[in-house]
Amino acid sequence: MHECGKGGRQVKRRIRRIRRIRRALKRAGLYNAFHIALIAVLLTGFCVILFNVKEPEQQEEKPETTQVEVIQNPETMTQMTESIEDKYKVFDTMSEDWGSDDLEGFVFCDLPEKYADKGYFPEKMQIYTRCLCKQNDVPYALVLAIIEYESGYEFDKTGDNGNSKGYMQIYEKWHTDRMQKLNCTDLMNPYQNVKVGIDFLSYLLKKYGTVQDALAAYNYGERGAREHLWNNGVYVYSYNTAIMQRMKEIEEVVGK
């Protein structure tokens, strides 16, 4: 009884306090404004809650730019085309009719399907390579097999932390004298790359007498082949076996 009586008195005091506030607001002419402001605040809060609480499936998603949309954009298409053209301009550095007097028996070699996407070995590059092979007495099919194995016909490929370059993956550090002799300065230029590579192969074939040993020296370097292979009685291994096998297959298409 005592607690209930005390609670009732507290309620009455609150009611009287509210009434006093109302009378004060009326006297000040602010009672209606107070209600309007209160209603506005309540409505604003209600709207915020209403619009922020959405079902997950109703939330708007930002449209993604699809690959098709990018390709259909004329400006993007132009930029892509120019980028591709710039990449292959390097092949225009050599006249297309170079070696045209020495084309007897030339057969164009289509790239295997597995290399068709990234590889590029155009006809004028094939003609140039074949002519260099004839001049240096190096089997053309052997060079094609090396290019395929080393770079997959990617003229701008790099390996060994960027040190091995181009079609024939030539390690520039070990061929500076050869490059100077041949007046070659850029191994990322496909013509200069095969020129240096074929000259090196010619030297190795003449010195060691067999394709398998020339390939071992090409792969390991002369000193490396001697220390890691020949001194241990190893002459045939995965690298030269794979390339010699592929060379035979290519010979059936382009000849020796």
Q: How far is CA 225 from CA 146, 170, 174, in A?
A: 17, 16, 15
Contact 231, 214 (CB under 8 A): no
Q: How many angstroms separate the CA atoms of 227 and 173, rounded?
A: 20
Residues 42 and 109 occupy one common structural domain: no
Provide the whole-model pTM. 0.68
Look at residue 61 in the predicted model and tell me its pLDDT: 54
Q: Which domain holds residue 34?
A: 2-55
Tell me, yes or no, whether 196 and 107 share the same domain. yes
Is 139 among the domain residues? yes
What pLDDT score was predicted for residue 121? Answer: 96
Same domain, yes or no: 20 and 147: no
Strand partners, 105: none
pLDDT of 96: 58
Q: Which of 55, 72, 96 is the last residue of a domain?
A: 55
Is the domain of 23 the same as that of 140?
no
- Asked whether residue 240 is domain-assigned, the answer is yes
Residues 133 and 214 both lie in one domain: yes
Shared domain for 156 and 196, answered yes or no, is: yes
Residue 249 included in any domain: yes
Residue 171 dihedral angles phi and psi, to the nearest 5°: -85, 105
* Type of residue numbered 8: G
Q: Do 26 and 104 fall into the same domain?
A: no
Do 108 and 232 lie in one domain? The reply is yes
Q: Is residue 128 part of a domain?
A: yes
Amino acid at residue number 60? E
Q: What is the C-alpha to C-alpha distance for residues 140 and 127, in angstroms, rounded to an integer?
A: 10
**Are residues 86 and 18 part of one domain?**
no
End-to-end CA distance of the chain: 118
**Residue labelled with tokens 């070659």:** 184
Residue 256 has what pLDDT?
Answer: 72
Instruction: Spell out the residues 6+ positions from residue 250 whose beta carbon is closer than 8 angstroms to its own.
Output: 109, 141, 144, 145
- Asked if residues 208 and 197 have their Cβ atoms less than 8 Å apart, the reply is no
- Tell me how far apart the alpha carbons of residues 200 and 205 are, in angstroms, rounded to a whole number: 9
Q: In this structure, are residues 251 and 141 in contact, taking their beta carbons and an 8 Å threshold?
A: yes
Report which residue type is found at 167: Y
pLDDT values of the chain reduced to their tens digit, one per residue, 256 residues: 444 444 555 555 555 555 555 555 454 454 454 454 454 545 555 444 444 544 444 445 555 555 555 456 666 656 656 566 678 888 887 755 555 556 778 899 999 999 999 999 999 999 999 999 999 999 999 999 999 999 999 999 999 999 999 999 999 999 999 999 999 999 999 999 999 999 999 999 999 999 999 999 999 999 999 999 999 999 999 999 999 999 999 999 998 7
Residues 44 and 87 placed together within one structural domain of the fold: no
- How many structural domains comprise the chain? 2
190, amino acid identity: P
67 assigned to some structural domain: no
Verify that 246 and 194 share a domain, yes or no. Answer: yes
